[in-house]
Structure 1
Amino acid sequence: MCAGMLSLQSVVLFLTGVATIGSTDLSAGTSIGIGLGLALLCVVAAGLLRRPGGYLLGWAVQVLSIGLGFLVPAMFFLGVVFGALWAGAYFLGERIDRENLERAAAEAEWSAQHGGGAAG
């Protein structure tokens, strides 16, 4: 779920870079660079989610997205929305992983108590 959120967020961040062209004092190259840089950061974070640093990078992306609101005020809102979606996916994913481990342990215990045979 977290990778999905980062993928969607990468599109929004890139388009935010495009939208800042002409609406801020930044040059077109700088605007595109900021949007593209943040979009690539999202993609890298999504790719690193199997490693502990990937989630830390994901949280950093959320902070940077909200900080982008200083250039594009709408990003204060969008950054908070994506931050909330990221937090929901992160904590729900942790809960699902924990419940899967508990279920696997219960199944192993049941299997050991009942001779290791499959039910059915």
Structure 2
Amino acid sequence: MRTLCSSTLIGEFFVIGFAALVAMKDPGLSMATVWMVSGIAMLLCLLLCGVVTRPAGVVLGWVLQFALIASGVVVPMMYFLGAVFAALWWASVHFGRKIEEAKARFAAQAAEVGPPADAA
């Protein structure tokens, strides 16, 4: 799960950075505001990569997904990109957990069978 979710978060890191470049064109927003909000979101993406295996990490990931969708108020294309990344986040969590369960089953089966016999 960690690899899939971290990959999604790193992709979001870059998308948030590019969206900040677009948001800078809005005359109603100061550059400091745009980069402070975007910087915090980008930092959150990186920090979540480290805690994604904990239950709170997944919940914070969902909060980030909804914030990304809500950023469409400033950059309308983010409605679409936020929805895409929310779907990717769901898939990463869902299939990541299935992969972990399968690995645990295979490890349990391997422990029951024991080490392979040496062919002499």
Aligned residues: 115
Q: Is the 8 A contact 1:17 1:33 kept in 2?
A: no
Q: Does 1:40 align with 2:37?
A: no
Counterpart Cα distance in 1 of 2:18 and 2:35: 9
Q: Does 1:55 align with 2:53?
A: no
Q: Does 1:67 align with 2:70?
A: yes
Q: CA deviation at 1:62?
A: 0.6
Identity %, equivalent residues: 32
**What is the alpha-carbon root mean square deviation over aligned residues?**
1.5
Counterpart Cα distance in 2 of 1:22 and 1:102: 52
Equivalence for 2:89 = 86
Equivalence for 2:15 = 12
Counterpart Cα distance in 2 of 1:68 and 1:24: 16
TM-score (norm 2): 0.87
Counterpart Cα distance in 2 of 1:64 and 1:7: 16
Bigger Cα displacement from structure 2, 84-93 vs 43-52: 43-52
Q: CA deviation at 1:52?
A: 2.5
For 1:118, which of 113, 116, 119 is the aligned residue? Answer: 116
Q: Does 1:98 align with 2:101?
A: yes
For structure 1, the 5+ residue unaligned runs are 112-116
Q: Which has the higher contact order (CA 8 A, sep 6+)?
A: 2
For structure 2, the 5+ residue unaligned runs are none
Counterpart Cα distance in 2 of 1:7 and 1:35: 14
TM-score (norm 1): 0.87
Runs of 4+ aligned residues of structure 1 deviating over 6 Å after TM superposition are none
Counterpart Cα distance in 2 of 1:108 and 1:22: 59
Q: Which amino acid aligns with 1:118?
A: P
Q: CA deviation at 1:23?
A: 2.4
Counterpart Cα distance in 1 of 2:43 and 2:21: 14
